[in-house]
């Protein structure tokens, strides 16, 4: 992969020569193709942030687990708190339970993000309310490494109602789906725990997808596009 495919407004003073080399060797994304779902490397990611403003707030911690060969690989997890020495204590940080001392001891953002993208490798990202995580990760990669996020995200919050159209889960949040599938997460708002909880939901959904004739990544991508068009059509007719 050409390093130029990643570069976008890079500020050389922020990275060491070794970090630049790692950045330029970051893996290419998984294409949307006929890869069977049970052969995909899926990285389920959850970001804890200082707030919900994707233009201003910062990533505080990253948690991720891998689904591979149709199962959660508990030996392949990523958990990292980023160093944010001068980060104000906000309500969001209090919810996440990240102490200022933990933020001060965290990994420098460029190193943490390089580690994470190397861990992710050629994958499809899954997240709950994925557009938020996607925008926050993209902004962090652009700001800290000068690279453009090219990996694709799939939103579990869309896949779940698409595959389970008759299920009433209230507002359809992560807690609602955990309760519906009778899954327990005693550490909500902790990045690694939320990523694992989302991965457990994803396994159930992947099984249902295969039962509904969705066997490949392209199948899932096409079905989601059709489902979104249907939702927009229904919204427009109200």
Q: What is the mean pLDDT of residues 13-23?
A: 90
Show the DSSP H helices in 4-150 as ranges: 17-24, 91-96, 100-104, 109-120, 130-145
pLDDT of res. 86? 75
Residue 70 lies in a domain: yes
Note whether residue 13 is domain-resident: no
Q: What is residue 206's three-state secondary structure?
A: helix
Q: Is residue 29 part of a domain?
A: no
Q: Does residue 140 fall inside a structural domain? A: yes
Q: Please indicate, yes or no, if residue 34 is contained in any of the structural domains.
A: no
Residue 235 lies in a domain: no
Question: Domain count of the chain?
Answer: 1
As a whole-number percent, the residues of the chain with pLDDT over 90 amount to 76
List of E strands, 19-129: 42-49, 59-68, 71-81, 124-127
Q: Is the pTM of this model over 0.95?
A: no
Q: Do the domain assignments include residue 25?
A: no
| Mean pLDDT computed over 52-71 | 94
Contact at 8 Å (CB) between 158 and 228? yes
Mean pLDDT of 100-127: 94
CB-CB neighbours of 78 under 10 Å: 20
- Could you give the 3-state DSSP secondary structure of residue 60? strand
Distance from C-alpha of 166 to C-alpha of 208, rounded to nearest angstrom:
13
Is the pLDDT confidence value at 27 over 80?
Answer: yes
Query: What pLDDT, on a 0 to 100 scale, did the predictor assign at position 87?
Result: 64
pLDDT value at residue 100: 79
| pLDDT at res. 104 | 84
Q: Scanning the structure block, which residue is given the tokens 């970090």?
A: 19
Task: Mean pLDDT check: name the lowest of 41-55, 187-201, 203-217.
Answer: 187-201
Q: pLDDT for 158-209, tens place per residue?
A: 999 999 999 999 889 999 999 999 998 766 567 899 999 999 999 999 999 9
Residue 32 belongs to some domain of the structure: no
Q: Is the pLDDT of residue 2 over 90?
A: no
Between the two ends of the chain, the Cα-to-Cα distance in Å is 47
CATH of the domain at 99: 3.30.420.10
Average pLDDT (129-136) is 98
Domain that holds residue 58: 40-228
Residue with tokens 């804890």: 48
Q: Are 51 and 87 in contact (CB under 8 A)?
A: no
Neighbours of 52 (CB within 10 A): 10
Please write the tens of the pLDDT for every residue from 74-109.
999 999 999 988 766 665 555 556 777 888 899 999
Report how far residue 235's alpha carbon sits from residue 100's, in angstroms, rounded to the nearest whole number: 44
């Amino acid at each position: 992969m050409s390093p130029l495919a990643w570069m976008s407004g890079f500020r050389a003073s922020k990275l060491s020569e070794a970090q630049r080399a790692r950045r330029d060797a970051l893996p290419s994304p998984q294409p949307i193709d006929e890869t069977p779902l049970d052969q995909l490397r899926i990285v389920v990611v959850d970001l804890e942030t200082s707030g919900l403003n994707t233009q201003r707030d910062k990533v505080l911690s990253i948690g991720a687990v891998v689904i591979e060969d149709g199962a959660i690989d508990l030996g392949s997890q990523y958990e990292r708190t980023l160093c944010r020495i001068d980060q104000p204590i906000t309500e969001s940080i209090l919810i996440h339970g990240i102490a200022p001392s933990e933020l001060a001891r965290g990994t420098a953002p460029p190193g943490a993000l390089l580690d994470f993208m190397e861990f992710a490798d050629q994958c499809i990202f899954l997240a709950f309310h994925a557009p938020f995580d996607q925008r926050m990760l993209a902004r962090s990669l652009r700001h800290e490494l000068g690279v453009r996020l090219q990996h694709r995200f799939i939103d579990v919050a869309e896949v779940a109602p698409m595959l389970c159209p008759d299920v009433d889960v209230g507002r359809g949040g992560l807690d609602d789906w955990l309760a519906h599938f009778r899954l327990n997460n005693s550490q909500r708002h902790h990045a690694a725990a939320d990523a694992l909880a989302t991965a457990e939901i994803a396994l159930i959904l992947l099984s249902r997808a295969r039962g509904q004739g969705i066997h490949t990544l392209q199948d899932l991508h096409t079905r989601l596009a059709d489902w979104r068009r249907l939702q927009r059509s229904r919204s427009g007719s109200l």
